Structure 1
Amino acid sequence: MDCVFCQLVQEGTAHWVAREADTCAFTPLNPLAPGHTLVIPTSHFTDVFEVPPHVLTASMTLVQRVATAMRTALDASGVNILSASGPGSEQSVPHLHFHVVPRWVDDGISTWPSGQSRRRLTGDPGTRLAAALNRDHKPHHGM
């Protein structure tokens, strides 16, 4: 398997924040800030141009839930959401993904998205986010 994200999903080796049928979230190895989270479809879709609408909807719903959890669990005052699609976009991994990066007024990132936050948190931010997502998640029932 060539796709590193598909390999993580298949092997279950990531530090998971959330795992759902169509989408999942995990913390990257080199976060831009404490709690930086990647949201990806669980199936392989290279970019926004090929993902089916229902999977994109599920992915963006999880992006929103992760962002909300960052405000409650990490006391973030905002988030940056970044996604690149296609060869001209500098997409780093050819699997659709969304970076959700918590931000604080005093975090020191002045050159987004290349800066590094100087914000420090106690405990594991990914674990705190996962707990907030599990606590706040209300399952949606299809019609």
Structure 2
Amino acid sequence: MACVFCSIMSGGLPAHWVAQAPDAVAFLPLASGSLAPGHTLVVPREHSVGVQDASPAAFAAAGELIQRVALAMEVALRASGVCVLNASGPGSEQSVPHLHFHVVPHWEDDEYFAWPEASGRRVEGDLAGALRDAIVG
């Protein structure tokens, strides 16, 4: 199955473009998936499924464009802040298997809560040590 974001970037599907940079793009999600006025998706042009398999260059390109979009939200929408959200992998509720970030504008009185509830799963032991030992690179 073809990647919907790759199809959008190649011109095969329409988009409401916010920005197009050499290595990343920004566009509005479908209206049914919008979390707030101006909610924007930032997508690296390089195809990877999520944070686990993305290259450092894809992260850098996305990060630069995320910052530009966030600053534009302050100016154009008078947002007082933004939340940057990502889901990567089958257990994360990722809806499109192409690395992407949701940049969601917020205002002090919007009553939107972006922090998830704490997980009910508990893992015992030295979590910092286990993660430290598993760090690659």
Length-normalised TM-score, structure 2: 0.77
C-alpha separation in 2, matches of 1:16 and 1:44: 19
Q: Does 1:28 find its partner at 2:65?
A: no
Task: Give the CA deviation at 1:108.
Answer: 2.9
C-alpha separation in 2, matches of 1:36 and 1:113: 16
C-alpha separation in 2, matches of 1:55 and 1:20: 12
Task: Give the CA deviation at 1:43.
Answer: 2.5
Please name the residue that 2:55 is paired with.
52
Superimposed CA distance per residue, residues 57-107 of structure 1 (whole angstroms, 9 cap, x where no aligned partner): 110111011111111111000101100111111111100000000000111
The one-letter code sitting in structure 1 at the alignment partner of 2:24 is: T
Length-normalised TM-score, structure 1: 0.74
Please name the residue that 1:16 is paired with.
17
Where does the alignment leave 5 or more consecutive residues of structure 2 unmatched? 117-137
Aligned residues: 113
Q: Which runs of 4+ in 1 moved over 2 A?
A: 111-114
The 8 Å contact of residues 29 and 41 in structure 2, kept in 1 or not, is answered as: yes
3-state DSSP of counterpart to 1:72? helix
Q: Does 1:69 find its partner at 2:72?
A: yes
CA RMSD of aligned residues (A): 1.6
- Give the structure, 1 or 2, with the largest relative contact order (CA under 8 Å, sep 6 or more): 1
Please name the residue that 2:114 is paired with.
112
Please name the residue that 1:103 is paired with.
106
The one-letter code sitting in structure 1 at the alignment partner of 2:2 is: D
Task: Give the CA deviation at 1:13.
Answer: 1.6
Superimposed CA distance per residue, residues 98-142 of structure 1 (whole angstroms, 9 cap, x where no aligned partner): 000000011132x4379xxxxxxxxxxxxxxxxxxxxxxxxxxxx
Please name the residue that 2:44 is paired with.
41
Structure index of larger Rg: 2
The 8 Å contact of residues 79 and 105 in structure 2, kept in 1 or not, is answered as: yes
C-alpha separation in 2, matches of 1:85 and 1:47: 5
Where does the alignment leave 5 or more consecutive residues of structure 1 unmatched? 115-143
